[in-house]
Structure 1
Amino acid sequence: MKESRFVNVELHSRYAFQVMQELRVREELCDVVLCINGAKFKAHKIVLAGCSPYLRAMFTNGMLETEKNLIEIHGIENGTMELLLEFMYTGAIELTVENVQNILQGASLLGLLSLRNLAAQFLQSQLEPSNCLGIQYFADMYMCGELERAARNYIYQNFRDVIRTDEFLQLSEERMFTLLKSDKLRVTSEHQVLEAALSWIQWDPFSRTESACQLLEHIKLALLEDSYLEDVVLQSEFVRNCPKCQFLISKAIVTKQDDMTLSLVTPRPQPPSIYVVGGRNDTHCQLKTMERYDFLHDKWETVALMNIARTAVGTTNLDGLLYCVGGECALVDMQEHTLYLRSMEVYDPTLRDWIPMAEMKVARSFIAVVAVGRILYAIGGEDRSCSFDLVERYDPRTQTWSVAPSMRRRRSGAGVALCDNKIYVAGGYDKTLHTDRASVECFDLEVQEWSFVAEMEKARSGLSLVAVDQHLYAFGGRFRHTEQYFDLVERYNTMSQQWTTITSMNTPRAWPGVAKFEGRIYVIGGFDGSNRLRSVEVYDPETNKWTYISSMLVGRAGCGAAAI
């Protein structure tokens, strides 16, 4: 027989606070009055002291207010105080766009840290170009570090939108200098930074022209074209009237003529973009071109060429760099003279240049490439004689390739994706057996073993595989035996281990490029059985719907793609 038992009534304290709130509303047993701008709020000291460190210190530390029943509170508005009191008694409050800054300000004063954090999170969810500068300033003022960092990063990421807002034009000189000198601003060119500075000066030229020299010091003028510096910048009124500004422009022109000095001027990072590289745009033409998709303007532009033209190339984003691995190119207009590539090159969006890297051990095309942490895996593929079950992995830190456990089946043109720290490889073609596969293999990174999971409904190669949350999406492909090209999309649930067919693409596509950005999947180009496509479709997993964005400049299939 137990002589004692500890019990806990979870609703006890909630009920007690509910009663105290009712007493406050009826103004019963109240022993303190808070005076806010002449308005009076009756409350209970014990409740206020239990919720607010600021008020607890006021009531208990022998301050003047300790013996008083009427307490003056400054720095909080009347309506905000009523909401804060209700929160202290009930633990509930409605945050709105209109009241959240006042709530955060009052919660900071009273030391209501949980409410302060919730208000900061709410503000963070409301970030947009028109308010991010104001939210950053507000967060810095009230020492909300996480919110300030989130707002600052938002400004960097969306600089091209931010500079079009009234908040930007109204920035103080000090904040303007701090912003422009950051190397984290994401722009497509330094022109955008200079144009932003000019628009800020022109908004109030009378008081801001004197700041021009200091602004120009924070702009990477050497990255601008000579013609632009000489014909536009030097001809602007504030530069013509300022010898120091003219000196800065002249110094930039001199820097541009010295390759060694110019190489030390690092461009600012590009905004998040989709890059599509290589592929084939007709029967006899492999591409070394690359296109970049600008989300803001829904526009494609040609950027730096690869060192080698290649189709059937494997690509992935690793540490913010675009890795292009293997592939093939025709030396002459005959399949027997196809060159299968071991080479790998990497595009750095900041330097805007391609860098040759260590070669794979085995030359092959139609490789499935995926990044896991800081390691790159090159899986399967084919050469002239056979398809491969080979897996190689590359470590950028040592710049070396090594062999990993092989797949259970040979596959080229398979789809690959990383989900729940496992590599999934779906479909593909086996040259030896002359067959497309429906099977799917999973590589467990912890035990370093391959195993089969449920097969897709349709056997195919030239498909793309993408992971979103706990699902894999298999897009398009071709069934070689019947020359059927698919608009089919299948989804695999890694929890239930089942495939289901979902909304088809608008166009059949084999060997498209694919990229994922902000939860949406971009399926780019490909071959529909007749044409190499320029069109791009976007799938939203939340709505299960497809939409088009602007088409690429060049139709291409066998291309690689990644969002960076």
Structure 2
Amino acid sequence: MGGGAEHLPGAVPADGALDGRIFAIGGADGVSTDRVVEAYDPAFNTWECSTGDAAAGCVDTRLAPMPTPRQYLGTVTSSDGRIFAIGGQISSGGYSNVVEAYNPTTNTWECSANDAAGGCTDSKLVPMPTARYDFGYTLGPDSGIYAIGGHSTTALSTVELYNPTTNSWHCSIGDSATGCTDALIASMPTARQGLGVATTAGQVFAVGGYDNVGDATRVEAYTPGLCGCHYPPAREWGLRHVGPSDRS
């Protein structure tokens, strides 16, 4: 990847819809937040870069940069092949709830209704209800995009689920943020930021992080329900394991 990032951007492992490329989006360069998009092609061992990227090692600079510069954002590839860049910390140090979606086929960005950045083909996406950064993110077993925990003024237990098909957000119980279609999801038991989140065996796992006191070792697993939809009969968390080492 051209240029050294002080804070790692979201790295999106590409699926077949992205021709096997791996995208690195946003981050910070030690001076300011970044909007750079760089794509690594393992088949050719080359990097494609975004317009205006002056870093060495780019075979071209044809990719459209992310409209809103951010670090500590969430990046997830949806089942339709779009790469969603969600939330994060902006250059002023504030927290963002912007949602921007990159289409690798058309090399264009869709943006959310509250997004004033240039470079958007439209502004129809619904922003994430809770502005935050340093949250966990994954594509769930129900094809929804999960944004879990993170930080605003403190570490959060908030769970918000985005449905790319209906362009709607489903929130956790007690979540009063604007933009929630409903609030039926169980909150994560341990509030934390800097956690790792992954989907496996039909469950969403939240691992480690920082819980306002210190580094967390808890592993908690969320079960969306058996129907595979966004309104399952049961959504619950279970403590699976206390990890061997504290880290965030």
Using structure 2 for the length normalisation, give the TM-score: 0.55
Q: 1:499 aligns to what?
A: 183
Checking the alignment, whether the CA contact within 8 Å between 2:22 and 2:41 is kept in structure 1 is: yes
Pairwise CA distance, 1:345: 4.8
User: In the TM superposition, what are the counterparts of 1:82-101 in structure 2 within 5 Å?
Assistant: none
Give deviations 1:370-424, integer Å, cap 9, x for gaps.
32434434456554247585836252x6xx843x34312259xxxxxxxxxxxxx
Q: 1:526 aligns to what?
A: 209
Q: 2:36 aligns to what?
A: 342
Q: CA 1:529 to 1:490, structure 2 compared with 1: closer, same or farther past 3 Å?
A: same
Q: Which amino acid aligns with 2:7?
A: T
Pairwise CA distance, 1:546: 2.0
Say which structure, 1 or 2, has more relative contact order (CA 8 Å, 6+ apart). Answer: 2
Pairwise CA distance, 1:366: 3.2
Q: CA 1:327 to 1:540, structure 2 compared with 1: closer, same or farther past 3 Å?
A: same
Give deviations 1:432-470, integer Å, cap 9, x for gaps.
xxxxxxxxxxxxxxxx662659x96xx451344554438
Q: 2:176 aligns to what?
A: none
Checking the alignment, whether the CA contact within 8 Å between 2:142 and 2:224 is kept in structure 1 is: no
Checking the alignment, whether the CA contact within 8 Å between 2:89 and 2:132 is kept in structure 1 is: no
Q: 1:407 aligns to what?
A: 112
Q: 1:509 aligns to what?
A: 192
Determine the C-alpha separation between the residues in 2 that align with 1:310 and 1:347. Answer: 23
Determine the C-alpha separation between the residues in 2 that align with 1:490 and 1:377. Answer: 14
User: In the TM superposition, what are the counterparts of 1:250-399 in structure 2 within 5 Å?
Assistant: 308-311=4-7, 313-319=9-15, 322-330=22-30, 337-338=31-32, 340=34, 342-346=36-40, 356-359=47-50, 361-362=65-66, 363-372=69-78, 373-379=80-86, 381-385=88-92, 389=98, 391=100, 393-395=102-104
- Provide the secondary structure at the position in 1 that maps to 2:211: coil
Q: 2:228 aligns to what?
A: none
Q: CA 1:322 to 1:532, structure 2 compared with 1: closer, same or farther past 3 Å?
A: farther
Give deviations 1:195-229, integer Å, cap 9, x for gaps.
xxxxxxxxxxxxxxxxxxxxxxxxxxxxxxxxxxx
Checking the alignment, whether the CA contact within 8 Å between 1:533 and 1:555 is kept in structure 2 is: yes
Which protein has the larger Cα radius of gyration, Structure 1 or Structure 2? 1
Q: Which amino acid aligns with 1:361?
A: P
Determine the C-alpha separation between the residues in 2 that align with 1:552 and 1:345. Answer: 35
Determine the C-alpha separation between the residues in 1 that align with 2:102 and 2:33. Answer: 22
- Provide the secondary structure at the position in 2 that maps to 1:504: coil
Determine the C-alpha separation between the residues in 2 that align with 1:487 and 1:378. Answer: 20
Give deviations 1:136-166, integer Å, cap 9, x for gaps.
xxxxxxxxxxxxxxxxxxxxxxxxxxxxxxx
Checking the alignment, whether the CA contact within 8 Å between 1:382 and 1:388 is kept in structure 2 is: no
Higher percent of residues as strand: 2
Checking the alignment, whether the CA contact within 8 Å between 1:375 and 1:394 is kept in structure 2 is: yes
- Please identify, of 353-362 and 310-319, the stretch whose mean Cα deviation from structure 2 is larger: 353-362
Pairwise CA distance, 1:520: 1.1
Pairwise CA distance, 1:521: 0.7
Give deviations 1:277-332, integer Å, cap 9, x for gaps.
xxxxxxxxxxxxxxxxxxxxxxxxxxxx99845436223332165533221253xx
- Provide the secondary structure at the position in 2 that maps to 1:328: coil
Identity %: 18
Q: CA 1:338 to 1:473, structure 2 compared with 1: closer, same or farther past 3 Å?
A: closer
User: In the TM superposition, what are the counterparts of 1:384-533 in structure 2 within 5 Å?
Assistant: 384-385=91-92, 389=98, 391=100, 393-395=102-104, 401-402=107-108, 404-410=109-115, 450=124, 452=126, 459-462=130-133, 463-464=135-136, 466-469=139-142, 473-480=146-153, 484-489=154-159, 492=170, 497-502=181-186, 504-505=188-189, 507-533=190-216
Checking the alignment, whether the CA contact within 8 Å between 1:538 and 1:549 is kept in structure 2 is: no
2:223 to 537, 540, 562: 540
Q: CA 1:358 to 1:527, structure 2 compared with 1: closer, same or farther past 3 Å?
A: same
Q: Flag structure 2 segments of 5+ consecutive residues without an equivalent.
A: 51-63, 117-121, 162-169, 172-179, 226-234
Checking the alignment, whether the CA contact within 8 Å between 1:513 and 1:525 is kept in structure 2 is: yes
